[in-house]
Amino acid sequence: MAEIVGGITTSHIPAVGNALANDESRNDPYWKRFFDGYEPVKEWLAEVEPDVAIVVYNDHGLNFFLDTVPTFAIGCADSYSNADEGWALPQLETFQGDAQFSWHIAESLIEQEFDLTICQEMLVDHGFVVPMQLMWGHLEGWPVKAIPFAVNTVQHPLPSARRCLALGHALRKAIESYPEDLKVVVLGTGGMSHQLQGERAGLINVDFDMQCMDSVINDPEWLASMTNTEIIEQAGTEGVEIIMWLIMRGALQANVKAVHKHYHAPISNTGAGVLVLQNAS
């Protein structure tokens, strides 16, 4: 049976993709502490050797535009590519998917009353690509298959934090009912506090980011009980991306061990956090 080896949450800032494409920036004082925070994540991944990554992210207008935005969408293809989305990010090696596993997840989630949009073709943007690069970009070729799982955090009304946590619970059932022996890691991307436009552009709320990290580890109910308006008040309009961390958290057991926790602000416009969690038992 497929097994969840753990979960990772990380911000997905496009400037990171450019810094990675330009090796020089990595030892720059601006970047060093941020990138150092990912070394333990890479070590953990090298130890647990997942076969598949389910990458929960939001599309920012590359595959879906404001005219048609699904609340939840899953990629059911055998490969995915990124494309120019306006951040000057390079075209990366194609990501290998696992269509059969995607269809199983779609079937199980829809049976559990999460009515997903099914995408047999999907372009993936920085929300998916930057976390993949942070985890595995230092290796020759992608060592995992990847399944994109897109959540609408852009065009209101958005799904609630509580709905995202419940989706995580359903995702766990979906994964653990797949008969193949696969090791699966779930990535929840986006966040932490940031606002890219309007009067509060540049907002970062370190205290709220700390509370969110603690909540995702120890008390997901705390974040799940907030409305999106309350989250946006604290974390900024784009900071609401943090609700996707709850999908990863919901896929794990009630008690988890934090293998790694790191935070650095600001990176670009954002409070940048990364967590590695494993089931406690």
Interface residues with ligand DHB (CB under 6 A)?
A: 12-15, 60, 190, 194, 196, 238, 241, 268-270
Q: Which is nearer to ligand DHB, 60 or 262 (CB)?
A: 60
> What distances in angstroms separate CA 156 from CA 172, 224, 231, one per listed residue?
27, 18, 14
> Measured in Å, how far apart are the chain's first and last C-alpha atoms?
17
Task: State the DSSP H helix or E strand holding residue 153, giving kind and residue range, or none if neither.
Answer: none
Among 12, 194, 262, 264, the one annotated catalytic: 194
CB of 182 to ligand DHB, least distance (A): 29
CB of 242 to ligand DHB, least distance (A): 10
CB of 190 to ligand DHB, least distance (A): 6
CB of 278 to ligand DHB, least distance (A): 26
Q: Is the peptide bond before 132 cis (omega within 30 degrees of 0)?
A: no
By three-state DSSP, how is residue 42 classified? helix
Q: Which is nearer to ligand DHB, 102 or 195 (CB)?
A: 195
Transcribe 187-256 into DSSP letters.
Answer: EEE--SS---SSTTTT---HHHHHHHHHHHHH-HHHHHTS-HHHHHHHH-TGGGGGGGHHHHHHTS-SSE
Residue 60 appears among annotated catalytic residues: no
Among 126, 156, 260, 264, the one annotated catalytic: 126
Q: Which is nearer to ligand DHB, 25 or 268 (CB)?
A: 268
Q: Which is nearer to ligand DHB, 13 or 259 (CB)?
A: 13
CB of 256 to ligand DHB, least distance (A): 24
Q: Which is nearer to ligand DHB, 50 or 137 (CB)?
A: 137
Residue 262 appears among annotated catalytic residues: no
Helices and strands, counts by H and E, the chain: 10, 10
Q: In terms of Cα–Cα distance, which of 94, 268, 277, 279 is closest to 176?
A: 279
Question: Which of the residues are catalytic?
Answer: 126, 194
